[in-house]
Chain A
């Protein structure tokens, strides 16, 4: 572990916060997003959506729609006749029940906003006129609008094949004798909490432009997705096209956060409509649909007990987790994504001797869910960090000290959850975070009599870059993990590098190029990163779960190294030297080790490789390309961080203000520290949103109550504090450049730290709050009762 590593880099690209390659076009408004794409004769699509939360469809009549001026076509499920989208786990029926998600609802609707028909018109206004003319008749069924209602005796079934509305029910761990541990423990604490349903809320809503190309015999789909190849696979399965007949490309993206790492029904339907009409079709999700009918996340209920000894050492955790996954399993992850993540990873940074967990996913008549930045970790970290603080309070200990006694300090550490944790700076990040707040005098401020101030922490780790093995362990039947990269050098000595990952705002065009630049000794402006094109890139898994730099970046590095070897081999032949006597000279050339002035530039080598191939050595083919794949071995690599937060509560209103936010993070080698900080800040903003602001709510009939930003309270810049970030660096041995993932940590730590700080501020009231988002009225009531 090294403090502030990026301050002392020396000429290498990795570790330098170079100007982002993306910035000139994005900052000047010259980016190209899906909605910027205009094709000749392009039509516009929107969806007739269910107005009932749970109903049988008895009739869909689109005849009036087709008569609306400007409307070109309207298709129901029957008209398009597409196969369903079904995501599977390799688990027995008592553990997992799959759902068939039709692209357009056929005979049954399961949430308000579910697409029933697609309407296509000459302009976006006529489309909406068309939607108003649709007639759908429903036979209403009783809706299931909460996890408790879903599990209630005799509850109506959302899917007839899922008894007790349970899609996933797994008990991954149950340490023998755990009940005795609880019986004999000095201290047992319990947290029961419910976290609000949230929307990942990319600024750019979902959208697609699709058209059929006769010359290429291809359905060309330009869509803002984190997973272009998975969109191609599903589209080919739903339509019966071969995958070569589908080309998915991805333009600039305004965020995804997981909402776009699953395949959306609308992008499939719009593409199928373009195929049918042989005309370009554009669908841009409007904000109302984005808030009510897009994939949601995060609504979970925990009932967790923890046992401690008198010195504050944790002895056992016993957890029951129920995730309200809404109406369908998402592809490819399934409804298992949240309960499996929580079950597998809950012990986190602590040395836990005994663990029992049951994780369930229930289905309800609400919009379905997808992974959202952090996936369950914001919640279980919040629960575990609350357990720590509650135990500290019961035992009369300092809340940082109790963590110090429990965090893993000797690595590698194999936990009770069968996960081996690679080295991190759990203890160091905790110490430094506390030190910063102490040095700044916040503990004195906390003591002032006339103010209501609290300090809270979250200490956590985060597995980044799940390899195939890790996902296989969760028994996913579609197992993302590897990434393949191809590096190609042209005759000008410049490079095109493919990656199967998909930047949707994370600056991969810059960071991946930095990795290549160091491997080959080529400046980054001679390197182009090619992503988001299924025709040009070998099957990739896109970007999610902090996998891009760890897995994609390692593939890019490995392919670069291979190309470097090839360049050396050709150079050795041309210089009549031994390959072992050659090295890349860091200046776009190869030189001899023992005679550095004898060198060949990459341009000279490329000249031979392409234009004078007869000069190549016998065993080397023409051209300069290298391909390599990478998968994370073992249990992969864990980033970690500690967040410290100071809040002030307003007695008169229950208002919560964040006075100070400190984040000490360790993502191994930071390729581009500023990008890492951007990821931290953005993630923290989303974590604060979950702790204090955002919640998707429904009424008893399952009608969504948050169709606009008036109701769905995404925080603005005014609500998000400055965040001070400190870096520690524990390089990963699992990845090519020592990097660990940095995409999700901010979101993971913030809810726990904020909630702990609020509870610390309420310390004199005797009230403890565990649910999020924290209701201001509840804070006010606590302060009122306590004064």
Chain B
């Protein structure tokens, strides 16, 4: 469990990181908190020839209100968000952090890393879709903003170009009546199923049931007309098409979906 040899580069600015990505091409990888990448390198499932460490790039560690919006820099850690006071507008974001791994992981893992890694059950990915986030990326072509709805494209696959870096995520609208909840056998595990709802938008997003965080329009329609809880859970369970897997049948995953959407609705309504 030792990584293959690589060359280490420390980037001092976003531009420098983009420059390195450009120069080094496919053989290079960004490293932020290292909480996903290093594990894969230790198993030699990832073997980048070059690592570009953005950990000390200035200007990527802000948590800031900007009018109605909330802006979070790519290098902000899960723990920093967990302990920040985001007010009732974005309590759903700080509350969701406790579901991410364990404390040591949260003190190193970053928002940008989670979004770029794009695990379909990752809390940040669910939140991004739930709250219609905009992911701000910078590459050799300059800065651009990618709506969360277009960002996640498949298993660990995003709309980022090879020379692009996430610099910030923007949550444009407050979500005072939103919640994220999930189920796993152990604390800190990636969720078997995760559910996030925003009663006002309304939005229902599921993790663990598809290759990307999944919006469920039929459940959202129920929230629009019927109000919260049970029918939304039913609708979400009916809308998904999971596979049978060892230990988790499709039937069970549907049941978890129903339960968790209901519970997320209850939590959101209680805020």
Contact = CB atoms under 8 A, between A and B. Distances in A.
A296 B5 CA distance: 33
B2 A713 contact: no
A776 interface: yes
B186 A719 contact: yes
A128 B185 contact: no
B187 A288 contact: no
Instruction: Name which of A288, A710, A776 has the most chain B CB atoms within 10 A of its CB.
Output: A776
Nearest to B259: A652
Interface residues of A, number: 31
Interface string A768-787: 00000001110011001000
A693 interface: yes
Interface in B222-259: 246-249, 252, 255-256, 258-259
A693 B185 contact: yes
Contacts of A287: 1
Contacts of A692: 185
A132 B185 CA distance: 35
B262 A652 contact: yes
B188 interface: yes
B247 A777 contact: yes
A617 interface: no
Given A655-B183, A718-B186, A777 B248 contact: yes
A776 to B, nearest CB: 6
Contacts of A127: 2
A123 to B, nearest CB: 9
A328 B124 CA distance: 47
A124 B2 contact: yes
A777 B44 contact: no
Interface in A269-309: 286-288
B183 A125 contact: no
A128 B44 CA distance: 10
Nearest to A775: B247
B46 interface: no
A249 to B, nearest CB: 27
B263 interface: yes
B4 interface: yes
A132 B5 CA distance: 13
Contacts of B183: 653, 655
B2 A716 contact: no
A722 to B, nearest CB: 16
Interface string A222-245: 000000000000000000000000
Contacts of B190: 710
B172 interface: no
A432 to B, nearest CB: 32
Contacts, number: 65
A717 to B, nearest CB: 9
A546 interface: no
A653 to B, nearest CB: 5
Interface string A664-704: 00000000000000000000000000001100010000000
A271 to B, nearest CB: 22
Instruction: Name which of A653, A655, A784 has the most chain B CB atoms within 10 A of its CB.
Output: A653
Contact of B187 (A132, A286, A719): A719
B43 interface: yes
A777 B183 CA distance: 12
B261 to A, nearest CB: 10
A186 B74 CA distance: 71
B3 interface: yes
A649 B219 CA distance: 27
Interface string A128-155: 1100100000000000000000000000
Nearest to B233: A652
Interface size class of B (residues with CB under 8 A): 20 to 34
Contacts of B43: 288, 707-708
Given A288-B1, A777-B248, A718 B188 contact: yes
A715 interface: yes
Interface in A728-766: none
A132 B4 CA distance: 10
Contacts of B255: 652-653, 780, 784
Nearest to B262: A652
Contacts of A776: 185
A129 B4 contact: yes
Nearest to A652: B259
A713 B5 contact: no
Contacts of A286: 1
Contacts of A708: 39, 43
B48 to A, nearest CB: 15
Nearest to B190: A710
B189 to A, nearest CB: 8
Given A288-B43, A653-B256, A780-B255, A713 B186 contact: yes
A201 to B, nearest CB: 14
A715 B186 contact: yes
A223 B206 CA distance: 49
B242 to A, nearest CB: 13
A539 to B, nearest CB: 37
B246 A697 contact: yes
A777 B252 contact: yes
A781 B252 CA distance: 8
Nearest to A705: B246
A718 B256 CA distance: 21
Contact of B252 (A705, A716, A780): A780
Interface string B151-193: 0000000000000000000000000000000010111111000
A421 B2 CA distance: 52
Contacts of A719: 186-187
B197 to A, nearest CB: 15
Given A124-B2, A288-B1, A784-B255, A718 B262 contact: no
A15 B177 CA distance: 58
Contact of B5 (A125, A707, A715, A780): A125
A653 B262 CA distance: 12
Contacts of B3: 125
Contacts of A716: 102, 186-188
A127 B43 CA distance: 14
Instruction: Name which of B185, B248, B249 has the most chain A CB atoms within 10 A of its CB.
Output: B185
Given A125-B3, A288-B43, A780-B252, A718 B187 contact: yes
A124 B3 CA distance: 10
Nearest to A128: B2
Contacts of A655: 183, 185
Nearest to A717: B187
Nearest to A718: B187
Nearest to B249: A777
A279 to B, nearest CB: 20
Nearest to A125: B2
A287 B189 CA distance: 18
Contacts of B259: 652-653
A127 B4 CA distance: 10
Contact of A693 (B39, B186, B262): B186
B176 to A, nearest CB: 25
Interface of B: 1-5, 39, 43-44, 102, 183, 185-190, 246-249, 252, 255-256, 258-260, 262-263
Given A288-B43, A708-B39, A777-B249, 11 more contacts: A125-B5, A128-B4, A288-B1, A655-B183, A705-B246, A713-B186, A716-B102, A716-B186, A718-B186, A780-B255, A781-B252
Closest 9 CB pairs of A and B: A652-B259, A718-B187, A286-B1, A777-B252, A125-B2, A128-B2, A653-B183, A124-B2, A288-B1
8 contacts: A125-B4, A132-B44, A693-B185, A708-B39, A716-B186, A777-B248, A777-B249, A780-B252
